[in-house]
Amino acid sequence: MRKFDIPDKYRSSLISQIKQLRKISDPMKKNYTPTVLDFGNVIIYLARHFGFCFGVENAIEKAYSIIEENPGRNIFLLSEMIHNPLVNEDLKKRGLRFIFNEKGEQEIGWDKITKNDIVIIPAFGASLETEKILSQKGIDTQRYNTTCPFVEKVWNKSTELGEKDYTIIIHGKHNHEETIATFSHAKQSSPSVIVRDLDEAKILGKMILGEIPAENFFEIFKDKFSPGFDPFKDLDKIGVINQTTMLASETQKISEYFKSVMTKKYGYENIHLHYADTRDTLCYATNDNQRATVALAKTDADLGIVVGGYNSSNTTHLAEILESKFPTYFISDERKLLSKRDILHFNFHKKVSVLTRDFLPKKSEVKIALTSGASCPDRIVENVLRKLLSFFMGSEDIKGEITEILARLKSANN
């Protein structure tokens, strides 16, 4: 896979070495068990897969390159480059300005942007409506486009489904930048509707089966369907695509559910006429990170630490996986580890920060599961790791133990 040129401050020599050793021992990525870092009185279970994915590294490389190559020009980001505060704040410090904030609110009017300015399209992509506005202003929407190729793959699938007269069901959050863009592309090809989760999918499924009046569609799915959508005739032939950062396992469950619904209504022998197989739209990185986190959840860890931006969908899902097994703390960086006793973490259910005391169990050997989202730099993960270790040992001890552990990992590969 291609190597990207991203700023050194986002890289971690320690994490890079661990990932490289895992790659050597498991080149086909079939082993999702975590890397065990045994420091004696604290054991870190480090996820097999975590951190920057292909799309994120591609977007970061392009953004920093654009800045370097265009000194003095006004450079705008359509929205957050990725859902990580460290990266976005650094880009702001370099003079970039965001047109839309993280809530989707426009902070810079289109009248403030001219054809001489640069507008970077983030990894999430852009709606066709926004691209049209930029094109009409004479702004090149392709040269500075950092849309993730796996997001574009989903768009291509929506076009393919539309050409075959399938209605498109999108598994995603209707106000997320990526889903907004995907919905924009999908509705050009076919009637489209967004479902947030399996519960919403089941409501739609019951409408297909006539168990819930189709008239209720417009109220239940308000702001989530394409113009002119007709639930009485547009749900006879369907295909499912997804926001790439959603739980891959849930997308699969939703797809399987709709397949069962269409089988029940039309019969197994006719299923191919009413349901499209779209498993190939799942993002490999999202899938790998989530499967690695499921493996983390199977360990005997006392607690989990998930690192990433609080508005990151894929990171939130990792926290969701771990919290079902043991106490899990979602933090943005090492600064949230206030002391051996206190941690300031994010409750993604209530969307508030919470101070928890005595988060580390009082025992001779503490076991911690550690992972991060696809938009979190490895350097932050290393900082969190070192901060956790500092609660148990001195800096020199940490340095020596890390050297010894890396040596053991290298020896295991030989």
**DSSP codes of every residue in 175-240:** TSHHHHHHHHHHHHHS-EEEE-SHHHHHHHHHHHTTSS-GGGHHHHTTTSB-TT--TTTTTSSEEE
Q: Measured between alpha carbons, how far is 210 from 222 in angstroms, rounded to an integer?
A: 19
The CATH class given to the 8-53+285-413 domain equals alpha beta
Q: Which residues are registered as beta bridge partners of 362?
A: none
The closest of 149, 234, 242, 227 to 187, measured between CA atoms, is 227
d(CA 190, CA 166): 7
Strand partners, 257: none
Domains 8-53+285-413 and 150-277 share a fold: yes
Of the residues 57, 178, 320, 382, which is catalytic? 178
* Residue 178 annotated as catalytic: yes
- Give CA–CA dist 275/205, Å, rounded: 13
The C-alpha atoms of residue 346 and residue 31 are separated, in whole angstroms, by: 30
Asked if CATH classification 3.40.50.12500 holds for the domain at 150-277, the reply, yes or no, is: no
User: Are 34 and 99 spatial neighbours (Cβ–Cβ below 8 Å)?
Assistant: no
Q: Which residues are 346's β-sheet partners?
A: 353
* H-assigned helices in 32-176: 54-69, 85-93, 128-136, 149-163
Q: Are 331 and 84 in contact (CB under 8 A)?
A: no
- Give the SS3 label for residue 106: strand
Q: Containing H/E element for 266?
A: helix 248-266
**pLDDT, tens digit, 9 for 90 and up, residues 204-214:** 999 999 999 99
Burial 97-110 (b: 16+ CB within 10 A, else e): ebbbeeeeeeeeee
Residues 103-150: pLDDT tens digits?
A: 778 999 999 999 999 999 999 999 999 999 999 999 999 999 999 999
Copy the structure tokens of residue 343. 């941690």
Say what the pLDDT of residue 4 is. 85
Over residues 305-357, the pLDDT tens digits come to 999 999 999 999 999 999 999 999 999 999 999 999 999 999 999 999 999 99
The ranges of the chain with pLDDT < 50 are: none
Q: How far apart are the first and last CA of the chain?
A: 24
What separation in angstroms does the CA of 178 have from each of 24, 39, 245? 34, 40, 9
Other CB atoms within 10 Å distance of the CB of residue 257: 16
Specify the pLDDT at position 66.
94
DSSP assignment, residue 166? P
Question: Which fold would CATH assign to domain 54-136?
Answer: Rossmann fold (3.40.50)
Rounded to two decimals, what is the model's pTM? 0.89
Helix, strand or coil, per DSSP, at residue 384: helix
Helix crossing, 198-208 with 248-266: angle to 10°?
A: 10
d(CA 378, CA 384): 10
Closest CA to 305 of 349, 360, 354, 355: 360
What tokens appear for 362 in the block?
Answer: 């009082």
- Residue-range domain boundaries for the chain: 8-53+285-413, 54-136, 150-277
